[in-house]
Amino acid sequence: MKRILLFLLLALNLATLSAQTDPAGHLASQYLQSGDWEKALTAYRNLFNQGRNPQHYDQYIAVLLKLKKYEEAKLVVKNMMNSDNDSYIYKVDYGRILQEEGSQEKADNWYKGLIRDLPANEYAIRELAVTFYRANAYDYAVKALQNGRKLLKKEDAFTFDLLSLYRFQKNKEMLSEEYLNVLAEEPNPSLLNQAKSTFASVFESVEDYAVLKNALLRKLQKRQDHPAWSDLLSWVYLQQRDFDQALKLNIATDKRLKEDGYRVYGIAEALISNKEYATAIKALDYLTGKGPQSPYYVSSKAEALRIRYQMLTDTPVGQADLLKLENDYQSLLNEFGATKNTVFAMRQLADLKAFYLKKPPEAEKLLEEVLKIPQLPLSVVSQTKLELGDVYILSGELWEAALIYGQAEKEFANEPAGQEAKYRNARLSYFQSDFEWAKTQLDVLKSSTSQLIANDALNLSLLIAENTDSPADTNALVKYAYAERLTFSRNYDQALKVLDSIGVMYPGNSLEDDVLMAKARILLKQNNITKAIESLVQITVKYHFDIWGDDALFMLGDIYQNKLHDTEKAMTYYQKLITDFPGSLHVNEARNRFRNLRGDNLG
């Protein structure tokens, strides 16, 4: 039935075209389109019999099949075969008629005969395969091409025709085998990338990747030095998130082929993008181990430091790890000096010393040294001044912090850096409980061209406005601002104590939901997932439609997705956010994550 419908669609299109210049054809087309099959049959029979006009052949056969007039259809096709014996169109149509009347065995034998009688001619072989394809006889199209290889005695003949057919059929095993065979002889990068793209679009499960992996392992047992197969196997490991194996394979290949490390550096970049930092560091350490003569020595050393620095913000680490990182940064600076090219390391080391190792004076010295380096980009100068102001706060040098923020605000007026400096100065006033002045500055920033700064300014302004209506609320806000300053300084335990004291000292205060959110964020930084969830759930229950309701739902979804790997719970929270807060800034990301977790194909 499906074949008849497809045949009818083709017939309708052809009928429409021919009807434009043929009045009788126009009438027949109208019958066909309206489903008046008997009249359509009479009309097309007459048209076709006027010299066996091939123009009306497809419509005539389609109507005959629709009316199940198989004998007449076979007679028409036989006559066409007699008049044009070289065409495979009519021969394949005959087999299709046998299928439609239920004679599947006869159809199969007929098709097999067509393939068996093929000449050793590339054009004829491809024509029969294409005709089978158009008749939806995909398996026979494949068989025609495979037999064609034998006839031509060329194992690489029709490779791309077969690849297209296997992809269309989603025949993953044969698709894998065909690509591996062609890559064996033609291992060029464009073909390799095409193979990866095809597999990514066709494969639907881990089992599919396992089929390809096993095929590659068998091939590599015979030819360990084949670069395309090794590259593809590495890609498979990445798709399976088997990052350790991907790295081991690339290092082994690099050593065996005595390469310069380019493929290991490539895998390191892939690992970093997947946030597999520990494995990425192994890759980068291998590259730096090749010595200064390696083209990837400097970049690998710098990138490894950057990743270790990044890991500090993702998971708590011990003091020994922090000291080792400090020493590694210092070694890099000793090796390459304080230059424009090492400013990134100086700034990151300053952050490490100030916020993690409790060495603000050393951090100040480093950042002040950065500002003395000539010809730095203005963006680097502005960010360094903001970072220096932050360090002054840690040191208790609040006046110095205000001065450097003010300096940056004036130097970079009407630029994002200047607006960020103004925000940090307002936040400093808030830390010092100068709420009125802080709010005045924040209200100016609410119209900032930077959406992030505008949102931060709006939130802090609202916090002040909503919690200074009474002396008790204002006193509670003083404590809360102090807790936020402690949080800023990474004094998390002390900040939690201050936050817990607010409810005791000022029962029924207006900051209860803010306190819960502040605690949740601190607890997440301390990797105390259970306690963080408790605080966030309290917000969703007691303060669902207040300012932190959507943030709490998004954070819960993120925790269950990325930390606890509980897909169902993550989807529940994302769905609730999408439903209850359609205007939330998080809603687009929540919707994308929900669809991804559900398994939607996002293209």
- Extract the tokens encoding 94: 């005959």
Mean pLDDT of 296-318: 85
**Of 208 and 29, the one with more pLDDT:** 208
Q: What is the pLDDT of residue 603?
A: 45
Q: Which of 126-130, 140-144, 220-224, 400-404 has the lowest mean pLDDT?
A: 220-224
Mean pLDDT of 534-559: 94
Residues 139-145: contacts with CB under 8 Å, at least 24 apart: 140/111, 140/115, 141/165, 142/166, 142/169, 142/174, 143/115, 144/114, 144/115, 144/118
Contact (CB, 8 A) for 384 and 370 = yes
Examine the pLDDT at 314 and tell me if it is beyond 90. no
Cβ-proximal residues to 245 (8 Å cutoff; 6+ apart), any chain: 237
- Extract the tokens encoding 381: 């100068």
User: pTM for this one?
Assistant: 0.68
Q: pLDDT per residue over 335-388, tens digit each?
A: 999 999 899 999 999 999 999 999 999 999 999 999 999 999 999 999 999 999
Q: What is the pLDDT of residue 30?
A: 85
CB atoms within 10 A of CB 586: 19
Examine the pLDDT at 575 and tell me if it is beyond 90. yes
Q: What is the pLDDT of residue 225?
A: 79
Mean pLDDT of 448-477: 90
Q: What is the pLDDT of residue 248?
A: 95
Examine the pLDDT at 476 and tell me if it is beyond 50. yes
Mean pLDDT of 100-111: 93
Examine the pLDDT at 241 and tell me if it is beyond 80. yes
Q: Which of 30-34, 65-69, 396-400 has the lowest mean pLDDT?
A: 30-34
Mean pLDDT of 34-48: 86
Within 227-375, residue ranges assigned H as helices are 227-239, 243-256, 262-273, 277-288, 297-314, 319-336, 343-351, 360-372
Q: Where residue 465 falls among pLDDT bands split at 50, 70, 90?
A: very high
Angstrom distance (rounded) from CA 499 to CA 124: 82
**Residue 473, CA distances (Å) to 364, 493, 507 in order:** 36, 23, 10
Q: What is the pLDDT of residue 312?
A: 78
Examine the pLDDT at 22 and tell me if it is beyond 80. no
Q: What is the pLDDT of residue 405?
A: 97
- Dihedral through CA 316, CA 318, CA 319, CA 325, nearest 10? -80
Domain boundaries, the chain: 316-376, 511-603
Radius of gyration (C-alpha) of the chain in whole angstroms: 36
Q: What is the pLDDT of residue 498?
A: 97
**Mean per-residue pLDDT over the chain, rounded:** 90
Examine the pLDDT at 52 and tell me if it is beyond 80. no
Angstrom distance (rounded) from CA 473 to CA 453: 26
**In the CATH hierarchy, which fold is given to the domain comprising 511-603?**
1.25.40
Q: Which of 64-73, 309-318, 414-423 has the lowest mean pLDDT?
A: 309-318
Sign of CA dihedral 597, 600, 601, 603: negative
Mean pLDDT of 6-24: 51
Nearest to 526 by CA among 554, 572, 490, 475: 490
Q: What is the pLDDT of residue 29?
A: 82
Q: What is the pLDDT of residue 19?
A: 45
Q: Where residue 447 falls among pLDDT bands split at 50, 70, 90?
A: confident
Q: What is the pLDDT of residue 166?
A: 93
**Percentage above 90 pLDDT, the chain:** 72
**Percentage above 70 pLDDT, the chain:** 95
Q: pLDDT per residue over 491-544, tens digit each?
A: 999 999 999 999 999 998 999 999 999 999 999 999 999 999 999 999 999 998
Q: Where residue 9 falls among pLDDT bands split at 50, 70, 90?
A: very low
Q: Where residue 600 falls among pLDDT bands split at 50, 70, 90?
A: confident
Q: Where residue 21 falls among pLDDT bands split at 50, 70, 90?
A: low
Q: What is the pLDDT of residue 50?
A: 80
Examine the pLDDT at 87 and tell me if it is beyond 50. yes
Examine the pLDDT at 602 and tell me if it is beyond 90. no
